[in-house]
Amino acid sequence: MKYRIIYSGIIACLLPVVVTAQTNLIPAHDPVMIKQDSVYYMFCTGMGITVWSSVNRVNWKKENPVFAKPAEWVVKELPVFKGHTWAPDISYHNGLYYLYYSVSAFGKNTSCIGVATNKTLHPSSPDYRWVDHGKLVQSVPNRDDWNAIDPNLFIDDDNTPWLSFGSFWNGLKLVKLNPDLVSVAHPEEWYNLASRRKDPAKPEPSASHKTEAGNTAIEAPFLFKKGKYYYLFVSVDFCCRGLKSDYKVVVGRSEKVTGPYVDKNNIPMMQGGGSLVIQGDTVNWVAAGHNSVYTFDGKDYIVYHGYDAGDNGKSKLVIKELMFDENCWPVVK
């Protein structure tokens, strides 16, 4: 299962040391990962949610998708939906595996986040069965200035569950969940996590098309606790353009899960801040992003997809060890 190591007090951060966990460059988009027993499972954007399994994070086996067909509630909310399900998030709590996922029309905030649970991730187990709990969060055009995609569940030090999510528009959000992890706590309170600073010299983006969003391009929040800090990883600039992609991951941190998050230069992430973590190197990867972060066997890892410069910009899995420098900032090469 996935663990988030939490330490009390201030930790002595390590000098940057990087080890690359090799993969066989399997196709992956928006990868998240978890370990059950001796098996790693990876969930990705795809028809019905793509699933892979591995015992070593090197050789991967493709499993059946989570959903054989779209749920009835999805078809009702999004009649144009064809089954391509985005940006899953997987974690283990209270004896169940919780899988959050996004359904949306591309470039519009006609979006919903759903959640499904399972007792096990082993397909051979008699207990293997995904139970869909329906819609958790929805964004509606002309009502909401945020987008309900890219969910990430986080449990804080007080055992309070939070869901971060969002992309483009006015940025990334955070909302408290009930202890059942499948419903939003009331009264509802929506926190702002990060946004891109708008450049006055550039025209205002169109709210109807993602590719016109210019320098407001931000998505895929992922929260990770290390020592006294909550780290907010986000992806900025553009994915999904093959060799023309310029996706990258930046990070900020806070001593409170609700923020405010600031970068190394103390610039708030709500004002366009964010310190670079990963980006394309133009030789192997033209771009990289939509990350997740985990602790496996006492080591921290960052998992993300890169656009392969040698294979026409195809999206593939990358796993690297993540270290923290003397100032407690995450470092990866």
**CB 37, CB 329: distance < 8 Å:** no
Cα angle for residues 4, 146, 250 (degrees, 5° grid)? 45
24 pLDDT higher than 70: no
What whole-number percentage of the chain has pLDDT above 90?
Answer: 73
CA distances from 59 to 231, 289, 310 (A): 30, 22, 21
77 or 306, which is more confident = 306
Annotated catalytic residue within 132, 219, 237, 263: 219
302 annotated binding-site participant: no
- What's the mean pLDDT in 226-254? 95
Whether 204 sits among the annotated catalytic residues: the reply is no
What's the rounded Cα separation, in Å, for the pair 167 and 309?
26
Supply the pLDDT for residue 210: 39
168 pLDDT higher than 90: no
pLDDT tens digits for range 260-292: 999 999 999 999 999 999 999 888 999 999 999
71 annotated binding-site participant: no
**CB 43, CB 51: distance < 8 Å:** yes
Q: Indicate the range of 15-19, 26-30, 103-107, 196-200 predicted with least confidence.
A: 15-19
Whether 219 sits among the annotated catalytic residues: the reply is yes
30 annotated binding-site participant: yes
124 annotated binding-site participant: no
104 annotated binding-site participant: no
Supply the pLDDT for residue 101: 97
Supply the pLDDT for residue 12: 42
Cα within 13 Å of Cα(318), Cβ side: 24
* Residue 281, helix vs strand vs coil: coil
What is the set of domains in the chain, with CATH numbers?
A: 20-331 (2.115.10.20)
* Beta partners for residue 324, in sequence order: 330
Look up the pTM and report it.
0.89
